[in-house]
Amino acid sequence: MRVVRGERIEIVEVKPEEKALEEKWQRLFRAVAPIIKAETGGDFLVVTDKQIRIEPKLTNVKVLFRYSRLVPSTNLQVRSFEIFKDIEFMPLKEFIGILQEHGYGPESAYALIWHGLIAFNLNEKIGLEAPVWATGAFRPDLKEVHYG
């Protein structure tokens, strides 16, 4: 999973804890990390199943995973950039509504979140009232987003 936090990119691998602790996997993770850094500039993180089984993170990941195969088109990305150009954050339902005015379905918003272009607080349950904002991919000027 690709996660964008401001200007920082993280490539996150989720593994069962038992496997993540095995030496063969540890060697692989150590070998992959510098390659990912060189190719993407991002950090490689390993998260165990036990770490993400904390609610509401687990439910959020399950909801968003449904949209992992939907790759946001260039036009959708440009439209999203335009939406957040002068807005720091807005409720998810408002973002979905604006996208719908331009012919995109609600699944587009969730795909943008999954692919790290739009963000929300993973520690809060995703819902229509959840604040969402553009990540550093769209708004490199934003280091942090403050809401509610």
Residue environment code for 29-52, b if the CB has 16+ CB neighbours within 10 A, otherwise e? eeeebeebeeeeebebebbbeeeb
Structure confidence by residue, pLDDT tens digits, 20-63 = 999 999 999 999 999 988 988 888 889 888 887 888 988 998 89
Q: With CA atoms as reference, report the closest residue to 81 among 120, 110, 130, 117.
A: 117
The full DSSP string for 65-129 is HTTTT-PPPHHHHHHHHHHHSS-S-EEHHHHHHHHHHTT--HHHHHHHHHTTSEE--TTS---TT
pTM score of the predicted model:
0.67
